[in-house]
Structure 1
Amino acid sequence: MENILNIFVKSIFIDNMVFAFFFGMCSYIAVSKTVKTAMGLGLAVIFVMTVTVPVNYLLNEYVLKAGALSWVSESMADVDLSFLSLIVFIAVIASIVQLVEMVVEKFAPGLYSSLGIFLPLIAVNCAIMGGSLFMQERAYANIGEATAFAFGSGIGWWLAIIGMAAIREKLAYSNVPKPLKGVGITFIITGLMGIAFMIFLGIQL
């Protein structure tokens, strides 16, 4: 339980997908203009991340990696399907994103219109794919650790985009130099927020 808590906290603050790895920057920059749209996309990313990483963990453990099919029969103990990891991970992510898109369109049409193309683009959000690849690389001991990592990473991405959206709403009333308006000042703020998150590197977990 202690290790799961450590993984959860670390994935939010220390290994933040945006500020540590700069993953998911396209939608992070484009959708962080208002807190409302940022909140919607952030929650969608949390859900997709929390569902896809554990599912991909099970597929990796029991289907894809070397020896994973030994539970089927001894003759398949030497089978290694890890070369299919990317295709399988992408298929799972795309399926879950399609489900989220249908639910949002049905129950929150206003939010669906606000997010526009960026909601289906969660399927190619590198933060989502990065979560599954990090899970595979770090070889978590059980699905609990993989789920804690996924949920924490989703919350970390949500915190980043909510923080940026809140700042950008205030910038609308600020005298920003014309050459820096829009993407320019957004990148500068992202860098400053990344530096601010570096204070968590000193946390001993």
Structure 2
Amino acid sequence: MEHIELFFKSIFIDNMVFATFLGMCSYLAVSKKVSTAVGLGAAVIFVLAVTVPVNWLLDQYILQPGALKWLGAEYADYDLSFLSFIMFIATIATMVQLVEIVVEKFSPSLYNSLGIFLPLIAVNCAILGGSLFMQSREIQTIGLAFNYGISSGIGWFLAILAIAAIREKIRYSNVPAPLRGLGITFIITGLMAIGFMSFGGMLTGGDDEGKEQTETVKVEQTEQKEENKLAENTLQ
């Protein structure tokens, strides 16, 4: 249940683009064509799915205060958390370089269409944000870390795919001159963010409200039973 909840919340409620507005540079620049958006979105999913679990391992066994105790009691007091940013970025840069090599080898057309934005995944704040959010959420297992990485990537993928599809269609629409280009794109992004955030009530609020209603009904039933008993005793 925890994996499913984290998966859907990371895609819809805590979407990297619509909830925290991370990765907006690539989101706006590479969303003019669906084919290009799909390629970059797939690359982001892969990088997040790999870097978040790897950075979780680094955080758990190297960076956290006392994480080096597995090396011996004399290392138990070491705190390397100040190296988090450097280690996370190094991991991200390595994986992005691997993605760039693979894309260039197997899909030169996609590599050329992505241009400078493919290597710029290394400095995409959504990628680093995934590792930092993983750290701040205090995710306990590598399975949850992998889940969070891939679901965050899927959320970013859906965001750029949706805006790319809309921007392809909107070329044939009569958009007012002052809003053409980034203006209408930001408006659409805001409306999409509202739509994605509306999933919050379904994924988080419903359970709590259901529990409260159930407890309220139980209390009312108990009070009714006590009143009935009191009425019977009075009649007797």
Q: TM-score, normalising length from structure 1?
A: 0.98
Q: Secondary structure at the match of 2:116?
A: helix
Counterpart in the other structure of 1:43 = 42
Q: TM-score, normalising length from structure 2?
A: 0.85
Counterpart in the other structure of 2:82 = 83
Counterpart in the other structure of 1:13 = 12
**AA partner of residue 134 (structure 2):** M
Displacement after TM superposition at 1:192 (Å): 0.7
Counterpart in the other structure of 1:159 = 158
Q: Secondary structure at the match of 2:198?
A: helix
The Cα offsets for residues 30-61 of structure 1, whole Å up to 9 and x where unpaired, read as: 00001000000000000000000000000000
Distance 1:204 1:156 in 2: 15
Distance 2:120 2:177 in 1: 30
Distance 2:203 2:18 in 1: 19
Displacement after TM superposition at 1:197 (Å): 1.0
Distance 1:4 1:58 in 2: 18
Counterpart in the other structure of 1:180 = 179
Structure 1: state its 5+ residue gaps.
Answer: none
Whether 1:193 aligns to 2:192 is yes
**AA partner of residue 161 (structure 1):** I
Q: Secondary structure at the match of 2:121?
A: helix
User: What is the aligned residue count?
Assistant: 204
Displacement after TM superposition at 1:6 (Å): 1.0
Displacement after TM superposition at 1:76 (Å): 0.2
Which segment drifts farther, 172-181 or 96-105?
Answer: 172-181
The Cα offsets for residues 72-115 of structure 1, whole Å up to 9 and x where unpaired, read as: 01000000000000000000000000000010011000000100
Distance 2:169 2:103 in 1: 28
Structure 2: state its 5+ residue gaps.
Answer: 205-236
Q: Secondary structure at the match of 1:44?
A: helix
The Cα offsets for residues 119-150 of structure 1, whole Å up to 9 and x where unpaired, read as: 00000101000000001111111001111111
**AA partner of residue 88 (structure 1):** M
Displacement after TM superposition at 1:204 (Å): 3.5
Q: Secondary structure at the match of 1:203?
A: helix
Counterpart in the other structure of 1:22 = 21
Q: Secondary structure at the match of 1:28?
A: helix
Please identify runs of 4+ aligned residues in structure 1 that moved more than 4 A: none
RMSD of aligned C-alpha atoms? 0.7
Distance 2:202 2:75 in 1: 44
8 A Cα contact 2:9 2:203, kept in partner: no
Of all paired residues, the percent bearing the same amino acid is 67
